[in-house]
Amino acid sequence: MQNMQQIVGQARAAFSSGRSRPLEFRIRQLKALERMVQEKEKEILAALKADLNKCGPNANIQEVLGVLGELALTMEKLPSWAAPQPVKKNLLTMRDEAYIGYEPLGVVLVIGAWNYPFVLVMQPLIGAIAAGNAVVVKPSEVSENTARLLAELLPQYLDKELYPVVAGGVPETTELLTQRFDHILYTGSTAVGKIVMAAAAKHLTPVTLELGGKSPCYIDQDCDLAVACRRITWGKYMNCGQTCIAPDYILCHPSIQGKVVENIKATLKEFYGEDVKSSPDYERIVNQRHFKRVKSLLEGQKIAHGGETDEASCFIAPTILTDVSPESKVMEEEIFGPVLPIVTVKSVEEAIEFINLREKPLALYVFSNNKQLIKRVVSETSSGGVTGNDVIMHYFLSTLPFGGVGHSGMGAYHGRFSFETFSHRRACLLRDLRWELLNKIRYPPASMEMMHLARLLLVKQCSRSRVAQFVSALLVALKSVVAKVSFGSLLSL
Amino acid sequence: MPISTLWSMSSSRMLLYFTSRATTLSMETSSSFQQLGMQQTLEPPRQQLSCYKCSTTGSDPGKDPGKAAGSSGGSGIGKGSVPMVCSTPCGNPYAGLVSHLRASWLSGKTRPMEYRVAQLEALGRFLDDKKQEILEATELDMGKPSFEAFFSEILLCKNELNVTLNNLSQWMKDEHVDKNLVMQLDSAFIRKDPYGVVLIIAPWNYPIQLFLVPLIGAIAAGNCVVIKPSEISKSTERLIAETLSCYLDNDCYAVVTGGVPETTRLLENKFDYIFFTGSPPVGRIIMTAAAKHLTPVTLELGGKNPCYVSDTCDVTNVARRVAWGRFFNAGQTCIAPDYLLCTVEMQEKLMPALREAITEFFGPNPRESPDFGRIVSDKQFQRLRALLGSGRVALGGQTDEAERYIAPTVLADVLPSDPAMQEEIFGPILPIVVIANMDEAIDFINARPRPLALYAFSCDSKIVNQVLERTSSGGFCGNDTLMHMTLPSLPFGGIGNSGLGKYHGKFTFDTFTHHRGCLHRSMGLETLNSPRYPPYTQQKMGLFTSTFEVRRRGTCTLL
């Protein structure tokens, strides 16, 4: 096992040297990262192929393009994101400088997941570097090829001391979590999320937890089913269903269930051809353990389509289950595989109730031609994110925060939100040592007059139209100070 | 702040405390608080939802308990009042209360802006109506001077309330965001969703402000709230428990009283957000409990706030501003300057100026001054008195156990190894640690846990900026103390050991709000989407890239 204390200690020493703070340094590191992705694209795609049987275009769209986009956005916007943000002042602080400074947190830990082993490490890393932190990177050991590649490539392109990569499984991660970090971003399961947060609590470390959950997908009767089902099929079976924001199950009226099945079947044929197993665009389950888990979910269910499995290659065909009971096992845990159960509900009210009775999901999808209905579902439920009339797509928009709520996680990232997640917003007020006259009102001994003045100076937000008020406040201040002085001299007599 | 609640007390002492408290309580059987306090520990807390009879005629909507839970439209969940699941058999005395609030939240009644505004306005009435009671209660608890209480407990809360009421409609609005090429026809926005049922645990040092300011944000964001005031500031706790329910909707907002055992039981319940103000050790306990339910937390903790005074500055003004910040509320302020760092020469110059400032503020005998507070409890008093042995007492140092009075005290030549430098002082004692120059001061600060606030004084703005840039802290105030927290436009919160999360003004609203990324797509133009569907080809790849990729400025040709 690598010596975790030493690795984190080295990163902390490198951070304390202050070299990760200048903007130029951060942008240089991001540029190096961009160069890495461009130069080593073949190696990255090969690793993804080996881990998850992701074909070239698939891996490119799902993992590489997103990273390049995030890098470009971050490098362009970083100077404006990192600039101090002046804030409104009140009358008492009108002459001062008040702003929010964006500062790095220190040493950050990023724990990646195996389902998108490249992008789920790289995207947080980009934000953490941009914010000026040292970053300890821990890729998932399940996707071993990508993990090995990252451990090999990152030190070649980035500052070795500031951004170490740690390899290993549960024992190594457990050891790593005993170290003190200044922020932890973890992507993975709800159960491990609790362990990570409990470990973080020992050091009072803030956490961002990107967890999963059963993301519901409601299809209204008033809806273009062909289009809806094509979009759902794309999102559900992408990466063999191993996507944290994949639609987990469908809620629809019993009367359209048959049509939904037909449309998805047709789309599957369109996407993967007659023989799914031989399609280059269809992935495999990551390992035997997950294969067995997903396969067991099929037991006792009405299989409307698919259901074929092959243990040797961890293949599970795109599968649709109909008339699924809410109490069945497949509705109890996140599926994380190419199995799509349909639960029928009689109305949108019932669908909303169904969603609200369960833990808050990471994503929520609603399909309808009726805008009001979509708005209603969004307003009356809670979830990490929402896409109406499509699936997954809110993830691709870096101007939207991506993250869960409740059991699907806490905190958010992507684009500017990543930068903010890994930054401390420091309240800064730089005052003038002079002008003591104005400050006298707050010092003891107290008088009622002072109290009223304090109210005037503090309650009112400063604005140009209030200059007159300010002048009158000054006059009152003068008056009360004069009163105080003369009163004081009387006393001393 | 150290030991802001009873958590760190040894269990035997704790028991003693509770027994003695119970006896004092049972002697005042006439008080309605009595009923409340006893009910909470002994009986399921559903009963405490009933509104206490009081003189105010608040016109709050949906005040009758039980009835309102399912009255407004909404999800259809939680119709009528929810039966008390798990009241006594499986033990948790607060399960019924929390599930009642959750049912109210699910009914959707806290979501409309009008509702939130009505509740916030009721809080404003609470502050106006109970101003005198608040001043009296804080005076009873820690001899808080009325100016200080007015300034810190009422004025700052009114400020927050007004900022929130003025901006709420703006804050609540969906925030529309930039889109990429394929999504030009869609609507992309950030929805400001309430979290659900949140818990606010307040400390004793500013017993009104530190529960009210988070409460304002939690209500504004549309949550249901359980408030747990500190049991140490007894009079204020009683005031809150007795009167708050007369102003707020009791189906959505509840006050729970009690000490460590009660808080422990309360924390077993699932909340959607926990906002805690107190000490780092208790912060760890809270966060560990929150981890069990994956509940996000804001922890407002304390720490030793350094105050660096450079050689070039107006000594009189420095002394005044430091003395004001240190001795405000008898030093029991989490952002008070905890210790001074300066050169030997500066220490010499500061001493007479500090003496003068203290005399000017509190007269020749601070004990008689109506403007100087007292220590909250005997335990705190004894802890503080033990710190007086550090360095040498240059000013003050007088104590009176009966009154829990400690004079404004300055300790000179304190060593980093002295007791006063090992813990947050949280009392009217100001140690001066002598350093050789600014670099040494910065090293001194950086060698310790990151503080909640950091202060630097100098006529030379370069020096102030250097200290700012080369250190890390929750907040920073140059050439003054405490003042950065009076601006609702600045985030207030710690970093590292001094806490996590931030609040005040819009930041409080954001703290209690889930920022939900929403994308509403159009069903048409399916051809535009075809590049992303399998089977994949090189051509599709190119199309996908051109529509999705974010390009560096200057290289974009398409838009």
pLDDT reported for residue B29: 31
* HSE (side-chain half, CA atoms, 13 Å) at A410: 26
A49 Cβ under 8 Å from any chain B Cβ: no
pLDDT at B84 over 60: no
| pLDDT per residue as tens digits for the range B421-454 | 999 999 999 999 999 999 999 999 999 999 999 9
pLDDT, tens only, B287-320: 999 999 999 999 999 889 999 999 999 999 999 9
pLDDT of residue B183: 78
pLDDT value at residue A478: 64
Residues of B in contact with A425 (CB under 8 A): 491, 502
Asked if A425 and A102 count as a contact pair (C-beta separation under 8 A), the reply is yes
Please classify residue B222 by burial: count the beta carbons closer than 10 Å to its beta carbon, then call 0-12 exposed, 13-18 middle and 19+ buried: buried
A184 contacts on B by Cβ (under 8 Å)? none
CB contact under 8 A, B475 and A202: no
The active-site residue out of A217, A229, A240, A244 is A244
CA distance B521 to chain A (A): 5
Is B297 in the same domain as B310? Answer: no
Q: Which pLDDT belongs to residue B19?
A: 31
The CATH number assigned to the domain holding B226 equals: 3.40.605.10
SS percent in chain A: helix, strand, coil, step 5: 50, 15, 35
H helical segments located in A283-407: 288-296, 348-356, 371-380, 393-396
Q: Which of B324, B446, B496 comes nearest A442 by C-beta?
A: B324
Residue A486 lies in a domain: no
Helices A23-39 and A119-130 cross at an angle (nearest 10°) of 160
Domain contains B526:
no
Residue A247 lies in a domain: yes
- A74 and A184 both lie in a single domain: yes
Burial class (CB in 10 A: 0-12, 13-18, 19+), B212: buried
Say if the Cβ atoms of A72 and B360 lie within 8 Å.
no
Same domain, A332 and A222: yes
Distances (CA, A) of A174 to A198, B431, B481: 12, 41, 42
Shortest distance, CA B265 to any CA of chain A (angstroms): 18
pLDDT value at B2 more than 50: no
**A228 with A186, same domain?**
no
Which pLDDT belongs to residue B550? 56
- Residue of B513, B518, B525, B538 to mutate, testing the A interface (most A Cβ within 10 Å of its Cβ): B518
Task: Decide if B136 is inside a domain.
Answer: yes
CA-to-CA distance for B118 and B165, rounded, in angstroms?
10
Q: Per the domain annotation, does B22 fall within a domain? A: no
pLDDT at A450: 67
Gap from B533 CA to chain A (nearest CA, Å) = 6
- Nearest Cβ partner for A378 among B473, B487, B518: B518
B221, B123: one domain: yes
Q: Is residue A488 part of a domain?
A: no
A291 Cβ contact partners less than 8 Å away, ≥ 6 residues apart: A285, A309, A311, A314, A316
CATH number at residue A388: 3.40.309.10
d(CA B510, CA B221): 8
Which listed residue (B300, B356, B360, B526) is catalytic? B300
Q: Considering only CB atoms, which chain A residues are within 8 Å of B520?
A: 371, 374, 386-389
**A399/B contact by beta carbon, under 8 A:** yes
What's the burial of B450, exposed, middle or buried (CB within 10 Å: 0-12/13-18/19+)?
A: buried
pLDDT at A95: 82
pLDDT in the model for residue A475: 63
Under the banding of pLDDT at 50, 70 and 90, the label for residue B82 is very low
Dist CA B1 CA B425 (whole Å):
8
Cβ atoms within 10 Å of A408's Cβ, excluding its own: 29
Same domain, A378 and A279: yes
Domain count within chain B: 2
Q: How far apart are CA B35 and CA B37, in angstroms?
A: 6
Claim to verify: residue A227 and residue A242 sit in the same structural domain: yes
Check if A19 contacts B (Cβ < 8 Å).
no
Same domain? For B210 and B337 the reply is no
Please check whether residue B374 is in contact with residue B404, taking contact to mean a CB–CB distance below 8 angstroms.
yes
In a domain, B550, yes or no: no
Q: Are residues B325 and B225 in the same domain?
A: no
Catalytic residue chosen out of the listed positions A210, A283, A334, A420: A210
Q: Mark yes or no for CB contact A194/B151 under 8 Å.
A: no
Residue A447: its pLDDT value, please?
67
**Strand B453-457 to strand B306-309: parallel, antiparallel, or no bridges (unpaired)?**
parallel
Q: How far apart are the C-alpha atoms of A251 and A254, rounded to whole Å?
A: 9
Q: What is the 3-state secondary structure (H, E, C) of A30-99?
A: HHHHHHHHHHCHHHHHHHHHHHHCCCHHHHHHHHHHHHHHHHHHHHHHHHHHHCCEECCCEHHHCCCEEE
Alpha helices in B183-233 (DSSP H): 209-220
SS3 A179: coil
Of A234, A382, A397, the CB nearest to B179: A397
Residues of A (213-242) whose Cβ lies below 8 Å from B: 223-224, 227-228, 230-231, 234
Q: Does B250 share its domain with B320?
A: no
Of A57, A230, A458, the CB nearest to B486: A458
Q: Which residue type is seen at B547?
A: T
Q: In terms of residue numbers, what domain contains B463?
A: 306-497
A386-401 pLDDT tens trace:
999 999 999 989 999 9
| Closest-CA residue of chain A to B543 | A61
Does B283 share its domain with B337?
no
The DSSP bridge pattern shows strands B513-520 and B187-194 to be antiparallel
Nearest to B41 by CA among B229, B261, B250: B261
Q: Is A34 a catalytic residue?
A: no
Q: A281 to chain B: which residues are within 8 Å by CB?
A: 534-536
Q: Say whether residue A16 is in contact with chain B using an 8 A CB cutoff.
A: yes
CB contact under 8 A, B360 and A443: yes
Task: Indicate the residue among B259, B280, B301 that finishes a domain.
Answer: B301
User: Letter for the amino acid at B182?
Assistant: V
Residue contacts between A and B (CB atoms, under 8 Å): 328
Question: Assign residue A413 a region: left if phi > 0, alpha if psi is -120 to 50, beta otherwise?
Answer: beta
Integer angstrom CA distances of residue A321 from A250, A268, A317: 10, 15, 12
Same domain, A295 and A387: yes
Closest CA to B183 of A389, A364, A375, A120: A389
Classify residue A253: in a domain, yes or no. yes
Question: Which CATH number do you get for residue B419?
Answer: 3.40.309.10
Q: Are B110 and B164 contained in the same domain?
A: yes
B250 is written with which tokens?
A: 């009791």
* Domain assignment of residue A441, given as a range: 433-481
On whether both B285 and B430 belong to a single domain, the answer is: no
What is the Cα–Cα distance from A152 to A148, expressed in whole angstroms?
6
- Measured between CB atoms, does A282 come within 8 Å of chain B? yes
Is residue A359 flagged as an active site residue? no
Question: Does A145 contact B at CB distance below 8 Å?
Answer: no
Q: Are strands A207-210 and A409-410 parallel, antiparallel or unpaired?
A: antiparallel
Per-residue model confidence as pLDDT tens digits over B338-355: 999 999 999 999 999 999
Whole-angstrom Cα Rg for chain A: 28
d(CA A62, CA A415): 17
Q: Do B489 and A282 touch (CB under 8 A)?
A: no
Q: Which of B287, B461, B549 sits opposite A68 (nearest CB)?
A: B549
Name the 3-class secondary structure at A189.
coil
Q: Are residues A145 and A169 in the same domain?
A: yes
pLDDT digits (tens, 9 = 90+) for A147-168: 999 999 999 999 999 999 999 9
Residue B531 is predicted with a pLDDT of 80
pLDDT for position B315? 95
Q: Looking at the domain assignment, is residue A242 inside a domain?
A: yes
- Return the minimum-mean-pLDDT range out of A10-24, A331-345, B52-66, B376-390: B52-66
Q: Classify residue A409: in a domain, yes or no.
A: no
- Is the same domain home to A145 and A230? no
Q: What is the mean pLDDT of residues B476-491?
A: 94
Regarding whether B439 and B361 lie in a shared domain, the answer is: yes
Are B278 and B315 contained in the same domain?
Answer: no
Q: Residue A112: which CATH number? A: 3.40.605.10
Q: Which residues in A lie closer than 8 A to residue B159 (C-beta atoms)? A: 458-459
CA distance B75 to B79: 9
Whether residue A164 is preceded by a cis peptide bond, meaning omega within 30 degrees of 0, is no
User: Phi and psi for B30 in degrees, rounded to 5?
Assistant: -75, -25
> What pLDDT score was predicted for residue B51?
41
CA distance to A430, B465, B472, B503, per residue, from A427 (Å): 10, 14, 11, 11
Q: Is residue B416 part of a domain?
A: yes
Subunit contact A272:B372, Cβ cutoff 8 A: no
**B chain contacts of residue A387, beta-carbon cutoff 8 Å:** 518-521
Pairwise CB contact (< 8 Å): A396 & B548: yes
Q: Is A176:A136 a contact under the CB 8 Å cutoff?
A: yes
Residues 6+ apart with CB under 8 A from B462: none
Length of chain A equals 493
User: pLDDT under 50 in chain A at which residues?
Assistant: 461-465, 486-493
**Residue B362 lies inside a defined structural domain of this protein:** yes
Phi and psi angles of residue A409, each rounded to the nearest 5 degrees, phi first: 125, -175
- Between chains, do B288 and A201 touch, taking CB under 8 Å as contact? yes
- Does B473 share its domain with B405? yes
* Set of chain B residues whose Cβ sits within 8 Å of the Cβ of A374: 520
Gap between the Cα atoms of B184 and B482, Å rounded: 47
Show which of residues 323-382 on chain A sit within 8 Å of chain B, judged by CB atoms.
349, 352-353, 356-357, 367, 369, 371, 374, 378-382
Alpha carbon distance B547, A40 (integer Å): 23
What whole-number distance in Å separates Cα of residue B430 and Cα of residue A18? 31
In Å, how far is A324's CA from the nearest CA of chain B?
22
* A249 and A368 together in one domain: yes
Q: Are B356 and B400 contained in the same domain?
A: yes
Give the closest-approach CA distance of B292 to chain A in angstroms.
Answer: 6
* DSSP letter assigned to residue A143: S
Looking at the structure, do residues A146 and A100 belong to the same domain, yes or no?
A: yes
> Do A361 and A244 fall within a single domain?
yes
- Find the Cα–Cα–Cα–Cα dihedral B22, B24, B25, B29, rounded to 10°: 130
ipTM: 0.90
Q: Choose the mutation target among A68, A197, A281, A398 for the interface with B, i.e. most B CBs under 10 Å.
A: A197
| Nearest C-alpha neighbor of B164 from the set B508, B516, B514, B513 | B508
Give the separation between CA A164 and CA A108, rounded to whole angstroms: 11
Mean per-residue pLDDT of chain A: 91
Exposure on the CB side of residue A343, measured as CA atoms within 13 A: 24
**Residue B279 in 3-state DSSP?**
coil
CA-closest candidate to residue A187, choices A362, A423, A385, A425: A362
In a domain, A181, yes or no: yes
Where is the domain boundary, B266, B283, B301?
B301
CA–CA min distance B363, chain A (Å)? 8
- Which residue in B191, B284, B529 is closest to A378 by CB distance? B191
Which three-class secondary structure state does DSSP give residue A310? strand
- What span, in angstroms and rounded, lies between the C-alpha atoms of A320 and A308? 11
For residues B197-205, average pLDDT: 97
Are A118 and A169 members of one domain? yes
Q: What are phi and psi of A386, to 5 degrees?
A: -140, 140
Contact status of A436 with chain B (Cβ, < 8 Å): yes
Domain count, chain A: 3
Domain-terminating residue out of B497, B523, B538: B497
